[in-house]
Amino acid sequence: MSGVLWVQVCLKENAQSLLSLVPKNGGPRGPKMCSKLGFSTGSLAFSSTVANPARSSEEKVYEVVLKQAALVREQRRPKEKEKALDLTQPIETDGTTSWDLLNEAYERCGEVCAEYAKTFYLGTLLMTPERRKAVWAIYVWCRRTDELVDGPNALHITPKALDRWEKRLTDLFEGRPFDMYDAALSHTVSRYPVDIQPFRDMIEGMRLDLRKSRYKNFDELYLYCYYVAGTVGLMSVPVMGIAQESKASTESVYNAALALGIANQLTNILRDVGEDARRGRVYLPQDELARAGLSDEDIFRGKVTEKWRSFMKGQIKRARMFFDEAEKGVSELNSASRWPVWASLLLYRQILDAIEANDYDNFTKRAYVLKAKKFLSLPVAYGRAIVGPSRSA
Backbone phi, then psi, for 150, in 5-degree steps?
-140, 15
Q: Categorize the per-residue pLDDT at 388 as very low, low, confident or very high, splitting at 50, 70 and 90.
A: confident
In a domain? residue 189: yes
Instruction: Tell which of 167, 194, 221 closes a domain.
Output: 194
Percent of the chain with pLDDT over 70: 78
Q: What is the pLDDT of residue 191?
A: 93
Total domain count for the chain?
2
| First-last CA distance in the chain | 16
In a domain? residue 1: no
Q: Categorize the per-residue pLDDT at 310 as very low, low, confident or very high, splitting at 50, 70 and 90.
A: very high
In a domain? residue 45: no
CATH no. for residue 152? 1.10.600.10
Same domain, 174 and 250: no
Same domain, 301 and 351: yes
CA 324 – CA 322 distance, rounded (Å): 5
Same domain, 180 and 219: no
Q: What is the pLDDT of residue 56?
A: 66
Average pLDDT for the chain? 81
Q: What is the pLDDT of residue 21?
A: 39
Q: What is the pLDDT of residue 150?
A: 81
CB 109 within 8 A of CB 187: no
The reported pTM is: 0.80
- Give the mean pLDDT of 281-286: 97
Same domain, 218 and 334: yes
Which of 2-11, 79-88, 114-123, 379-388 is most confident? 379-388
Same domain, 167 and 308: no
Same domain, 166 and 305: no
In a domain? residue 158: yes
Q: What is the pLDDT of residue 141?
A: 97
Same domain, 280 and 385: yes
In a domain? residue 304: yes
Strand partners, 40: 43
Backbone phi, then psi, for 346, in 5-degree steps?
-65, -40
In a domain? residue 363: yes
Q: What is the pLDDT of residue 207?
A: 95
Residues 327-361 have pLDDT tens digits of 999 999 998 889 889 988 999 999 999 999 999 99
Q: Where are the beta strands (DSSP E) in the chain?
A: 37-40, 43-46
Residues 144-164 have pLDDT tens digits of 999 998 877 778 889 999 999
Same domain, 239 and 369: yes
Lowest model confidence (mean pLDDT) among 152-156, 166-170, 274-278, 384-388: 152-156
In a domain? residue 66: no
Task: Please enumerate in sequence order all residues whose Cβ is within 8 A of that of 199, keeping only pairs 6 or more positions apart, or say none.
Answer: 141, 169, 173, 231, 235
Helix (H, G, I), strand (E, B) or coil at 110: helix
Residues 202-237 have pLDDT tens digits of 999 999 999 999 999 999 999 999 999 999 988 988
Instruction: Tell which of 166, 194, 222 closes a domain.
Output: 194
Model confidence at 368: pLDDT above 80: yes
In a domain? residue 364: yes
Residues 49-87 have pLDDT tens digits of 333 445 568 788 878 888 778 877 766 554 433 343 444
Same domain, 242 and 370: yes
Instruction: Tell which of 131, 166, 194 closes a domain.
Output: 194
Same domain, 260 and 350: yes
Burial 180-211, CB ≥16 within 10 A → b, else e = bbbbbbbbbbbbbbbbeebbbbbbbbbbbbbe
Q: Which domain holds residue 365?
A: 212-392
Same domain, 228 and 337: yes
Model confidence at 94: pLDDT above 70: no
Same domain, 222 and 185: no
